[in-house]
């Protein structure tokens, strides 16, 4: 086959400045697992009817799309866009086992279907209540991918937060904000959702959570399904009309929602209104917020989307500085991917797990008592990595700590 729409690969001058910053190249030492090597593979497909070998798919699939290479590239090669295009064009030629194809389709169906999410939440609650997750994880016949998924599942979720304050006050007296929950927030990160809502309520905001919202589409966009990603974007743009801020609780979702304007002209206003809860707090300031002292050492993990895509690496530490007595240690000040990368932590465990262990080992050596990160995938990944080291450590979103420290 010959691939099209990859002309931007010509901007790569093969200088190699990206190589020291690529997590997969650092693990494998294979040039084909570096940004430069992957661009060469794309160029070879452009120039001839090259054979689509399993190795070619493997090297492209092993890219985390962490954007570390884009952040360092002097030629500003749009590497993520090239990877998205290559994966989309290669998707029809993939040869997957039927079980893998069904699992992938089921997973993408789950994150875009509210009814499927409700059913999954009920099933997950039942499994955890009966401790079947522990049993399945211990059985030698349980497939590794299922065991990996079970390791990533957090503890049972708290009840959903209700809104007693705004229910009793006139909506006309409140400034309104809209909350983007994401496809996994209610299923795996309800603690963060609840803390965000309690904090916004306390600050006097009325909160809308549009029921029409859906998955941000990042998983589809980066897994060769741009058409589905586009349809999800259009649904979300329509679900959040008006001038109100759209607040997210995951840096991965925020990065994807911000990108809508690139592909959807009608989404420019929507993308401009998107912010995460910490950015929203920082822009507002800490007026009216009083914190009790928290005398502990906190480890901060900065997700790749927050650092390399949104370029907001300093935001979390700036907001956490409002809490007296809190000492913050940044685990990855110069980069360092935890290996979550959306569905990557399920599809590429041979690379994902070592990356998670590296961050977990850094945490263990830091002397910190707690770990925070702004992305749900990173939280699941790091929690599992710490469990593997028998470390009973709380991993949470910074907003949980901020809301909990209020007087």
Q: Rounded to the nearest 5°, which phi and psi values hold at 329?
A: -115, 125
7-93 has CATH 2.30.110.10 classification: no
**288-404 matches 164-283 in CATH topology:** yes
Beta-sheet pairing, 175-179 with 205-208: parallel
Rounded Cα distance between 28 and 346, Å, is 19
Tokens of 190: 């309800």
Strands (E), 180-260: 205-208, 246-248
Secondary structure (DSSP) of 137-188: HH-TTS-HHHHHHHHH--SPPPPPP--HHHHTS-GGGSEEEEE--TTTHHHH
Q: What is the pLDDT of residues 299-353, one digit of tens each?
A: 999 999 999 999 999 999 999 999 999 999 998 877 789 999 998 998 899 999 9
Structure tokens at 259: 């990108």
CATH architecture, domain defined by 288-404: 3-Layer(aba) Sandwich (3.40)
pLDDT at res. 235: 95
Mean pLDDT of 13-23: 95
Burial environment of residue 156 by CB neighbours within 10 A (0 to 12, 13 to 18, 19 or more): exposed
Report pLDDT for 118.
Answer: 65
DSSP code for 300:
E
Answer with the residue of higher pLDDT: 173 or 21. Answer: 21
pLDDT tens for 85-117 read 999 988 888 776 655 555 555 556 666 666 666
Task: Say which CATH class 164-283 falls into.
Answer: alpha beta
Whether 121 has a pLDDT exceeding 80, the answer reads no
Whose tokens are 């790091």? That residue is 382
Structure tokens, 230: 């586009």
CB contact burial 112-135 (16+ within 10 A = b; e otherwise): beeeebeeeeeebeebbeeeebee
Each residue of 141-168: pLDDT tens digit?
666 667 677 777 777 667 776 655 444 4
Q: Is 288 left (phi over 0), alpha (psi -120 to 50) or beta?
A: left
What band does 123 get if pLDDT is binned at 50, 70 and 90? low
Per residue in 189-223, pLDDT (tens digit) is: 889 999 999 999 999 999 999 989 999 999 999 99
Provide the pLDDT for residue 188: 82
DSSP tag of 309: I
Domain ranges of the chain: 7-93, 98-152, 164-283, 288-404
Using a 10 angstrom Cβ sphere, with 0-12 exposed, 13-18 middle and 19 or more buried, the burial of residue 404 is: middle
Look at the block and give the residue holding tokens 């991918």: 145
């Amino acid at each position: 086959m010959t691939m099209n729409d990859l002309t931007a690969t010509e901007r790569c001058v093969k200088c190699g400045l990206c190589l020291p910053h690529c997590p997969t190249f650092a693990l494998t030492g294979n040039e084909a697992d570096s940004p430069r090597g992957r661009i060469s593979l794309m160029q070879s497909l452009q120039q001839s009817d090259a054979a689509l070998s399993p190795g070619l798919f493997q090297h492209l699939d092993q890219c985390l799309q962490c954007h570390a290479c884009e952040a360092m590239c002097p030629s500003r090669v749009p590497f993520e866009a090239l990877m998205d295009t290559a994966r989309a064009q290669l998707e029809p030629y993939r040869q997957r086992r039927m079980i893998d194809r069904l699992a992938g389709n089921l997973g993408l169906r789950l994150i875009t279907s509210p009814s499927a999410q409700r059913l999954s939440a009920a099933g997950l609650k039942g499994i955890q209540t009966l401790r079947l997750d522990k049993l399945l994880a211990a059985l030698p016949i349980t497939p590794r991918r299922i065991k990996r998924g079970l390791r990533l599942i957090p503890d049972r979720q708290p009840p959903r937060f209700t809104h007693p304050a705004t229910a009793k006050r006139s909506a006309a007296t409140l400034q309104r904000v809209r909350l983007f929950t994401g496809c996994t927030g209610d299923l795996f990160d309800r603690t963060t959702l609840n803390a965000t809502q309690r904090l916004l309520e306390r600050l006097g905001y009325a909160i809308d959570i549009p029921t029409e919202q859906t998955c941000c589409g990042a998983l589809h966009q980066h897994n060769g399904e741009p058409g589905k990603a586009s349809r999800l974007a259009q649904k979300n743009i329509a679900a959040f009309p008006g001038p109100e801020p759209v607040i997210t609780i995951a840096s991965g979702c925020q990065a994807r929602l911000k990108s809508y304007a690139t592909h959807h002209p009608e989404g420019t206003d929507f993308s401009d209104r998107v912010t995460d809860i910490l950015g929203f707090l920082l822009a507002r300031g800490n007026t009216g917020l009083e914190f009790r002292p928290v005398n502990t050492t906190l480890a901060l993990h900065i997700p790749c989307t927050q650092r390399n895509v949104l370029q907001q690496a300093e935001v979390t530490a700036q907001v956490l500085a409002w809490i007296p007595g809190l000492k913050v240690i940044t685990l990855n000040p110069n980069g360092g991917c935890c290996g979550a990368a959306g569905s990557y932590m399920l599809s590429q465990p041979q690379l994902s797990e070592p990356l998670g262990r590296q961050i977990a080992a850094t945490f263990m050596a830091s002397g910190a008592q707690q770990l925070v990160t702004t992305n749900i995938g990173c939280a699941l990944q790091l929690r599992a990595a710490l469990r593997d080291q028998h470390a009973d450590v709380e991993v949470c979103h910074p907003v949980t700590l901020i809301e909990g420290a209020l007087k």
